[in-house]
Structure 1
Amino acid sequence: MIKVLFVCLGNICRSPMAEAIFRKIVQQRGWEDKIFVDSAGTGDWHIGEPPHKGTREILTKKNISIEGKKARQISQSDLSNFDYIIGMDAENIGNLRRMAGAKSTGHIARLLDYVPECSQEDVPDPYFTGDFNEVYDLVSEGCHHLLNDIVAREKL
């Protein structure tokens, strides 16, 4: 099974949104038995909390379930248990690489690195910007491209 972990700062806005969107795409393609999806945050501020209200609202509007998701902090074992560790911005990637050192066996990359000719490198944090629509659009596009890349790499 291929394991994909989405990571942001607190695991209440961007990474649970990416987890939910990616899971729905995987289910639509019938690959739930081939791809496992989760999310985590680099910080511990929101452990145990549900996703941010803005994330829940936009996902509900798009008919994407986030039910039961609670924020968690990334663990050292995640870095070797997941095949793809996808950060939302440069800060997340820096934190992940520092944590991983030489121990990570997972492929660490930024989500928008998978989007060809994307004018942005980072998914902005809607916790600070308040723009959950922009984040949804970026994350959705990134998730589609990421899945296509995984399908090609893993020969699904």
Structure 2
Amino acid sequence: MQISVLFVCLGNICRSPMAEAVFRHYVEQEGLSGKIRVDSAGTGNWHIGEPPHHGTRNKLKEKGISYEGIRARQVRKDDFDEFTYIIGMDESNIASLRKLAGSQDAHIYRFVDLIPGTTYREVPDPWYTGDFDETYQLVSEGCLELLKMIKREHKLN
């Protein structure tokens, strides 16, 4: 069984595509691309088909991380069957995911819960804050912790 991770935010153009790109980068560095599939989606449908926000693209370029092939899409009901880990960026995303999942046994996580000792309650949305540095820092930390957790839980090396 392939392990799969879906990052979810509101529009799928800032936070979740950043997390998808960063996590995919870490997975590739660990040589686990064939074992872990990574994707992202939004709870809303406003940006379907669009590339990541220019602020996300600029931050990823600055860090030497590819965002090639990432296009906004909306969360689908079958995502709950398809993905091992579904990770929401804020409480609103989590509530929307739980509502859509209904009675399905979905593995939904709040992104900041992956980061030990953080005081953040959610990943701030740079669409509103304009602070892509803060978002990148949290995403980077959380993605590293998620990869450690997956490697531990699935005995990957």
**TM-score normalised by structure 2 residue count:** 0.97
**Number of aligned residue pairs:** 155
Give yes or no for the alignment of 1:112 onto 2:112. Answer: yes
Superposition RMSD on alpha carbons, in Å?
0.7
Match of 2:138 in 1: 138
1:42 Cα deviation after fit: 0.4
Q: Which residue of 1 aligns with 2:64?
A: 63
| Alignment match, 2:55 | 54
Q: Secondary structure at the match of 1:85?
A: strand
AA partner of residue 5 (structure 2): V
Gaps of 5+ in 2: none
Measured after TM superposition, the shift of residue 126 of structure 1 is 0.4
Partners of 2:102 and 2:45 in 1: CA distance: 20
What secondary structure, in the 3-state scheme, does the structure 2 residue paired with 1:144 have?
A: helix
Q: CA deviation at 1:68?
A: 2.2
CA distance in 2, matches of 1:103, 1:67: 32
SS in structure 2 opposite 1:30?
A: coil
**Corresponding position of 2:31:** 30
CA distance in 2, matches of 1:153, 1:101: 26
Amino acid at match of 1:80: D
SS at match of 1:11: coil
Please, which runs of 5 or more residues in structure 1 have no aligned partner? none
Correspondence for 1:100: 101
The amino acid of 2:10's aligned partner reads: L
Equivalent position of 1:3 in the other structure: 4
- Percent same amino acid among aligned pairs? 59
**TM-score, normalised to structure 1's length?**
0.97
> Can you list the C-alpha shifts for 1:64-116, whole angstroms capped at 9, x where unaligned?
00012110001000111000000101110011011101114x41001110111
CA–CA distance in structure 2, aligned partners of residues 61 and 137 of structure 1 = 13
Once the 2 structures are TM-superposed, how far is the Cα of residue 12 of structure 1 from its aligned partner?
A: 0.2
Distance in 2 (alpha carbons) for counterparts of 1:85 and 1:56? 23
